[in-house]
Amino acid sequence: MTDLIRLHRARWNLQGESGMIVANRSAQFLREVALRFASAGMLRFFGLEFQQRVVALILSFPYKNVLFSYLSGFDPEYQQYGFGKLLLQYSLQHAFENGFTSWNFLRGSEPYKLDWGARIISKRRLVLAKPGV
């Protein structure tokens, strides 16, 4: 998880943003959830190393026949090699070879998702409250 947090932060820092882990102060929560999900067999990590260094990671959650890609990161120092794209290609291939019929990129419409054939699915939020509350 430490490598994923580091890579995720580095990836978003490239764009002048902090990324969701820093913005939500969720590193510890993410570690705890990952441990619980991993022990229940509900977590998939895909990783790529180059010269004994972790350069790209994807954290995903399987549910039924779908892999939900929750968080990813890559090392900007090696961006010219396209390790993030290479790992995503491998992860998609692995998912489909292992019976998953769908890969869900979850929220956001970043261009790289569309490059892989993703479709934008609108989401709605409904808040119900008792009158006077």
Residue 107 lies in a domain: yes
Question: Is there a domain that residue 100 lies in?
Answer: yes
**Residue 93: which domain range?**
2-115
Give the domain CATH number at 80.
3.40.630.30
pLDDT in tens, 39-72: 888 888 899 899 999 999 899 998 899 888 888 8
Structure tokens at 22: 């820093």
| In a domain? residue 128 | no
Q: Give the pLDDT of residue 24.
A: 57
Number of domains making up the chain: 1
| Residue at 39 is within a domain | yes
State the CB neighbour count (10 A cutoff) for residue 60: 24
CB count within 10 Å of CB 53 equals 11
Instruction: Specify if 33 maps to a domain.
Output: yes
Averaged pLDDT of the chain: 81
What is the pTM assigned to this prediction?
0.74
pLDDT in tens, 69-92: 888 888 888 888 989 889 989 998
